[in-house]
Structure 1
């Protein structure tokens, strides 16, 4: 069995075991911090070795780098190549992943995550290439768990769905990216600690007939956006909406952190 197939099989098994900007910088950092808290010793050692040239040992510190390169002229080519990999558009509204339709030429977060996991796990690659891959894996694991990075409506992931939030004009994507999370008033460490204190997160059941864990994660996100009330009919985000949807957002952070830890543990352990 190939290394990629072993990883896919192991990740699918994790979907039914319960132990354990998409998001703006806060959300991405929380996912990364949750994952780092559950790395195996071998994976943690390899993460620290790869991160050393960046003078950090924290996954949270590099979790938003794939977004930040859009403002770096030196990374213009990389940004252009990877920009379509931050999200997926389900074209027909059924949230069923069909690669030729939803991920043409591998340009979506499902294929992007798979590509960079493969690079990260390839010991024949240079450390520089694997470090870059680590940054994308950490980031895309967050992206794919943000519901509006895997939607099915023609609104640019909620960016063109205008809403009123906290007395100001905004859009639904921004509210999910950071607005609701910030209502907690917690920094990264405190937020991660609060979520981690809930204990192991129960993972969703496998979605038949998928045998691609990354596709499943995207379908889960898409189906959240299709639930009644996710798009407020009056375009107003009040306390009732936050009370209903913030727990959903936080569950996706927890699931993203758990799954990212599993990916890194499986990929970085010899």
Structure 2
């Protein structure tokens, strides 16, 4: 489910792809924010290894690769297709309890993709190209798994089938959470980073993020997705919905940055 992310300062609520498993989490801006927040908390050794791996990239920064996995369908259709299910996991129908045999039997979900790609990244015996690709996937998927609807209901494709109308503009619930709520605030990337960096961290880090605590992250996101009111009772919604739920989206971005840093430090920090 490669779910489109938000574009820096646009106030337009973009309609997201409605095909099963086809949509992105957070949007371009959101993924950049997660990566920038993570960079703040990286150990010097981790930063040095990331900088080494990113040499030669068009934008050799963590935010610069954060949306790479959502762009694969354009630049590498085969890999984009093979990795399309790695962006999400549907567990809301099972009370947000992840069962690998049921929800991810072939490893094709965000929970197992994070584990698999982190393992590749941490293995310094592997070719640099493999580890660079794994870094790009890890940065993106840790962001994805913290978007609540990426761990939500399969029956409505993570909210893609739920149509809503915000201030006269039609969209769907998944797109609203990916980008619409944050874009509607009218902040640019720098202002968002200042805002998010000032937030207290409302999460307890796992004792050992290697292998990553991706099950816990997915289940926590799912518990948000099923909260009363997240699915609006009517299609027409307004500022009250944004005021109620934007703080949750902001908190998830903040948590994702911290969890990504912990994962990268464990994989690369020596």
Which TM-score band (shorter chain)?
0.7 to 0.9
Whether the aligned pair in 1 keeps the contact of 2:25 and 2:147 (CA below 8 Å) is yes
CA contact (8 A) 2:92 2:222 kept: no
Aligned length: 243
Aligned to 1:104: 105
Q: Give structure 1 stretches of 5+ with no counterpart.
A: 1-20
Q: Is the 8 A contact 1:89 1:151 kept in 2?
A: yes
Contact persistence 1:30–1:189 (CA under 8 A): no
CA distance in 1, matches of 2:68, 2:212: 26
In structure 1, the partner of 2:144 is 143
CA contact (8 A) 1:91 1:101 kept: no
**Residue of structure 2 equivalent to 1:133:** 134
Check the 8 A contact 1:195/1:254 in 2, yes or no.
yes
Q: Deviations over 1:231-270 (max 9, x none)?
A: 0011223111111100000000000000000111111112
Where does residue 251 of structure 1 map in the other structure?
Answer: 251
Instruction: Give the Cα–Cα distance (whole angstroms) in 2 for the partners of residues 101 and 68 of structure 1.
Output: 28
Look up the match of 2:55.
Answer: 52
Match of 1:37 in 2: 40
Q: Report the equivalent of 1:168.
A: 169
Contact 1:95/1:152, CA 8 A, preserved across alignment: no
Deviations 1:45-100 (A, max 9, x none): 1111111120433211110000101112xx12211111010000116331101111
Question: What pairs with 1:1-270 in structure 2 (closer than 5 Å)?
Answer: 21-72=24-75, 75-90=76-91, 92-199=93-200, 201-203=201-203, 213-270=213-270
CA distance in 1, matches of 2:25, 2:58: 25
Structure with the higher helix share, 1 or 2 = 1
Cα distance in 2 between the residues matched to 1:205 and 1:58:
25
Residues of 1 paired with 2:51 and 2:244: CA distance? 38
**Cα distance change, pair 119–212 in 1 and its aligned pair in 2 (3 A):** closer
Deviations 1:207-233 (A, max 9, x none): xxxx96100100011111110000001
Over aligned residue pairs, what C-alpha RMSD do you find? 1.6
Over 3 Å off, 4+ runs? none
Secondary structure of the 1:26 match is helix
Gaps of 5+ in 2: 1-23
Residue 125 of structure 1: how far off its partner (Å): 0.8
Whole-angstrom distance in 2 between the partners of 1:56 and 1:91: 37
Change (3 A) 1:27 1:212: closer
Report the Cα offset of residue 174 of structure 1: 0.5
Tell me the distance in 2 between the aligned counterparts of 1:258 and 1:268: 15
| Structure 1 contact 116–134 (Cα < 8 Å) conserved | yes
Match of residue 5 from structure 1: none
Whether the aligned pair in 1 keeps the contact of 2:212 and 2:263 (CA below 8 Å) is: no
SS at match of 1:169: strand
